[in-house]
Amino acid sequence: DVKVTQSSRYLVKRTGEKVFLECVQDMDHENMFWYRQDPGLGLRLIYFSYDVKMKEKGDIPEGYSVSREKKERFSLILESASTNQTSMYLCASTHGGSYEQYFGPGTRLTVT
């Protein structure tokens, strides 16, 4: 079974803190994605990566950065957390060319 794990299920941070969200997949997938999920807005793509050290902006990259130093690991970084970044963050991975993305369970981040 494909497994995508995220470092935390719940996270509470203060405004201005630097936040790291980690995602690890065990299926040697080339592509990895970070989304945020908000009620009424669906899943919105923040960043994605199609290879180690490669990254591309998604639809809402502002306020976020990413890092992919190893194929299995994709990190989302909030340089200076703000309250409008309170959300559910979902990581996903897939083989190149597949439309099936495998999602982690999500991290619910609250910024106070």
Binding site for another protein (CB under 8 A): 4, 30-31, 33, 35, 40-45, 48, 50, 56, 58-59, 90, 92, 94-106
By beta-carbon proximity to another protein, the closer residue of 75 and 101 is 101
Q: For residues 51 and 79, which CB has a smaller minimum distance to another protein in the complex? A: 51
In the bound complex, what is the minimum distance in angstroms from residue 25's beta carbon to another protein? Answer: 12
Nearer Cβ to another protein, position 17 or 30? Answer: 30
Taking the complex as a whole, the smallest distance from the CB of residue 50 to another protein amounts, in Å, to 4
- Check if the beta carbon of residue 92 is closer than 8 Å to that of residue 32: yes
Beta bridge partners of 74: 23
> What does each C-alpha distance from 18 to 43, 67, 88 come to in angstroms?
23, 14, 17
Our CB check for another protein shows the closer of 21 and 92 to be 92
Put residue 61 in one of left, alpha, beta given phi > 0 → left and psi -120 to 50 → alpha.
Answer: alpha
Q: Which two tokens stand for residue 14?
A: 């203060």
Quick check: 97 and 1 in contact, CB under 8 A?
A: no
What is the closest distance, in whole angstroms, from the C-beta atom of residue 96 to another protein in the complex?
6
The secondary structure element, H or E, covering residue 74 is strand 73-78
| Residue 102 CB, nearest approach to another protein (Å) | 8
